Amino acid sequence: MKTLTNVLKNYYTELVGASFLFLITLLLFVLGNLEAGTVSLCLFVVYTALISVYIFKNRDKLPERTRAALSSLTVEMLMKFDTPVLIVAEDDSILWYNTAFSGIEELSEVRYGDRSDVVAGGAFKYSVLKEKDANFDLRLGDKSYNVSSNFVKMSGKDYYLTLWHDVTELENVKSLLKKKNVVVGYAAIDNASEVMPYIQDKYRSAVAKVYSELSSWVAGMNGIMQEYDRDKYIIFIDEEYFEPNITKKFDILDRINDVVSEDGSNRITISMSFAQMNGSLTEKETAARGALEYAFQRGGAQVIVKTVEGNVSFGGAARAVEKTTKIKSRVTADRLKEMIKESSNVLIMGHRNVDYDSIAASAAMFRLCSFLGVKANIVVNPDDSALQNSFLLLESVEEYKSAFVDKVLGQELLTPTSLVIIVDASNPKIFESPEIYENADRVAIIDHHVQTNEFENVPKLQYIDPTASSASELLCEILEQAIPRAQLKNAEAELLLAGVLLDTQRFTRNTGIRTFGAAMYLHLDASALSRALALFKPSIDEYTKLAVFQKNTVVFREIIAISHYDGDNSVENRVMASMAAENMLNIASIRAAFTLCRVGTDIHISGRSDGSINVSKILEQLNGGGRFEAAATVMKSVSLEDAMKQLRAAIESYWDEKFPSGSDKK
């Protein structure tokens, strides 16, 4: 019925003509004029047939007069529409716009036929609209718009019709909510127990100055700070006042350092963490607390901001103060023994491209497991040539003949009740087998490098102390608390000594009370020391490579040495690069050194420092990391020249942050 009504409305004239012809035919037959009636009947049949065919073919189309009427109605409606409308032609000309569009102050000079690139800096060119999503946001003056673009085809030509929805009020509400979003933070003096013995008479006055500076900083942002424990504070700040600190890179750290330096108490450092994210206060507090722990694991003296995208760090320019107590080692040893005893078996691994420190720490952990009567295996890459000397050293110990497994067999040995212990590494990307770590239900991590990322598979136990010289030093402290010294085999002790020698450059760098304490625990004679030192003697080929590194040395920024080797791409180049970087620190006035070499298809970069420049912070920009004075990274799919450029850019970025406005660099 509805279809018949539409036909009567849309084809009224045609149907009236047919009806008129039918009445004439009927009248002729009534009057008895059969010949004329027959002709009229034939005309009626033909006309009706033609009209029927026409209506059928155009059943889904509007008659021209209807289209014209609707087009006129549509234009009039769009012209009076409160929403701005703009139509752009394929040739980038402005075909049409409505009154609301012309009422936009910034577009009042736009006219029909103008080029569309005069609108919003070219955002409405036909080609740009074609590439954009159907909806996009636009800001003009103090107005915000959400623009929806619609493809239209008329008379064989292509156009884009754009509707501008004013969302200024909505955006203002969002902005206000963001400004009033509460940022939760923590602040704590991160080395109180280590500093107290040195500045007992000045400690409380120095802390009072820190508190005064902190409280003034928070009050200046209309925030709240409350001490919840000795020298520990919780902070609440609105995001609109907190945001400028990102731009200033939290210069509050420098101000606090200046304050405590006035009375010679510059050993005091402070760490802070903030949760700048969405969520409840409980979620933010939890995130901020985790971020503070992350700051401690990275060595302290810095700020960690937890955002939706991840962690952002600021500061870290001050070297962490060495811990002088073994309380943490004792607690870790007790907890580790419990976890090992609860496990069906233990898988131990270090980082890829193993070195003496990594394999020595693994061997020490293997000894602890053996002492506790739990089966353990060390996951290694059997093809790594750097392992050969370690294998030779340990071959006298019967247990090690079946101790080493590759990552494939290691994965097969992994069960829900297994314990995976990772030593000398905290970055999953460089684990010997990231897959074993990801699939493990129970993980423990012991490392001396700065933690660069939060763990996706959160460890049940983590002991990360960047103030320690080496992982071997940490393991010596743990073994001292866990097993009798007599249980440690001489070969294992020599390997641990080699690990300490490697990361301290034969006790010439990054040593402290704990380092020499570890050496005393090992209690090795002169012959053992000689055997450990012999592990570091280079071959003639390696010696030649070191000479090439020396020849290619250039000085950057007066205090940073950079060198490279591109003779071949053997795996031994990585060790030579680290040795060359260490040697370059012996050059007068050089405070940091970086060496680049090709290992396989990758570029390996080693960084070393005398302790005044944070090479880890520099190489973190290149997806690397390590410790304050020793770090490394691997760059894939880049040339040596490009790697050199990126390294220089990372150094420049660190330089600008450490020495703003041309401050003293000496």
The answer to the question of residue 322 being in a domain is: no
Query: Do 628 and 570 share a structural domain?
Result: yes
pLDDT over threshold 70, residue 268:
yes
Identify the band that residue 386 occupies on the pLDDT scale cut at 50, 70 and 90: confident
Residue with tokens 């007790």: 334
Residue after which a domain boundary falls, among 534, 567, 590:
534
Q: Which residues contact 659 (CB under 8 A, 6 or more apart)?
A: 665
Amino acid at 547: A
Angle ∠(372,376,381) on CA atoms, nearest 5: 150
Stretch among 185-199, 293-307, 489-503, 618-632 having the lowest mean pLDDT: 185-199
Query: Do 484 and 554 share a structural domain?
Result: no
Amino acid at 542: E
pLDDT over threshold 60, residue 4:
no
- Look up the CATH number of the domain holding residue 331: 3.90.1640.10
Residue after which a domain boundary falls, among 115, 142, 171:
171
Query: Do 89 and 138 share a structural domain?
Result: yes
pLDDT at position 261, please?
66
Residue after which a domain boundary falls, among 495, 518, 534:
534
pLDDT at position 666, please?
43
- Look up the CATH number of the domain holding residue 214: 3.30.70.1230
pLDDT digit string, tens, across residues 593-612? 999 999 989 999 999 998 88
Q: If phi over 0 gives left and psi between -120 and 50 gives alpha, with beta otherwise, what is residue 138?
A: beta
The answer to the question of residue 202 being in a domain is: yes
Identify the band that residue 68 occupies on the pLDDT scale cut at 50, 70 and 90: very low
pLDDT over threshold 90, residue 392:
no
pLDDT digit string, tens, across residues 490-515? 999 999 999 998 888 777 777 777 88
Query: Do 504 and 588 share a structural domain?
Result: no
Closest CA to 191 of 36, 301, 298: 301
The answer to the question of residue 69 being in a domain is: no
With contact defined as beta carbons under 8 Å apart, do 494 and 524 qualify? yes
Query: Do 355 and 226 share a structural domain?
Result: no
pLDDT at position 146, please?
85
Query: Do 187 and 154 share a structural domain?
Result: no
The answer to the question of residue 320 being in a domain is: no
pLDDT at position 267, please?
65
The answer to the question of residue 67 being in a domain is: no
CB atoms closer than 10 angstroms to residue 283: 13
Most confident of 8-12, 226-230, 534-538: 226-230
Stretch among 160-164, 249-253, 451-455 having the lowest mean pLDDT: 451-455
- Count CA within 13 A, CB hemisphere, residue 122: 3
Query: Do 189 and 132 share a structural domain?
Result: no
CB atoms closer than 10 angstroms to residue 204: 12
pLDDT > 70: what percent of the chain? 82
Stretch among 22-36, 489-503, 504-518, 549-563 having the lowest mean pLDDT: 22-36
Query: Do 379 and 311 share a structural domain?
Result: no
Question: By residue range, what is the domain housing residue 109?
Answer: 75-171
Q: Which residues contact 105 (CB under 8 A, 6 or more apart)?
A: 141
Tally of domains within the chain: 5
pLDDT at position 69, please?
46
pLDDT over threshold 60, residue 664:
no
Per-residue buried b or exposed e for 365-374, using 16+ beta carbons within 10 Å of the residue's own CB: bbbbbbbbeb
pLDDT over threshold 70, residue 274:
yes
With contact defined as beta carbons under 8 Å apart, do 231 and 268 qualify? no
Identify the band that residue 225 occupies on the pLDDT scale cut at 50, 70 and 90: very high
CB atoms closer than 10 angstroms to residue 274: 28
Query: Do 528 and 461 share a structural domain?
Result: yes
d(CA 356, CA 377): 17
* Average confidence score pLDDT of the chain: 82
- Average pLDDT, stretch 182-191? 88
In a 3-state reduction of DSSP, which class is residue 477? Answer: helix
pLDDT at position 40, please?
66
- Look up the CATH number of the domain holding residue 631: 3.10.310.30
d(CA 159, CA 457): 52
d(CA 204, CA 227): 15
Q: If phi over 0 gives left and psi between -120 and 50 gives alpha, with beta otherwise, what is residue 578?
A: alpha
The answer to the question of residue 386 being in a domain is: yes
Query: Do 388 and 478 share a structural domain?
Result: yes
pLDDT at position 66, please?
46
Query: Do 355 and 431 share a structural domain?
Result: yes
pLDDT over threshold 50, residue 435:
yes
pLDDT at position 416, please?
95
The answer to the question of residue 266 being in a domain is: yes
Query: Do 196 and 277 share a structural domain?
Result: yes
The answer to the question of residue 66 being in a domain is: no
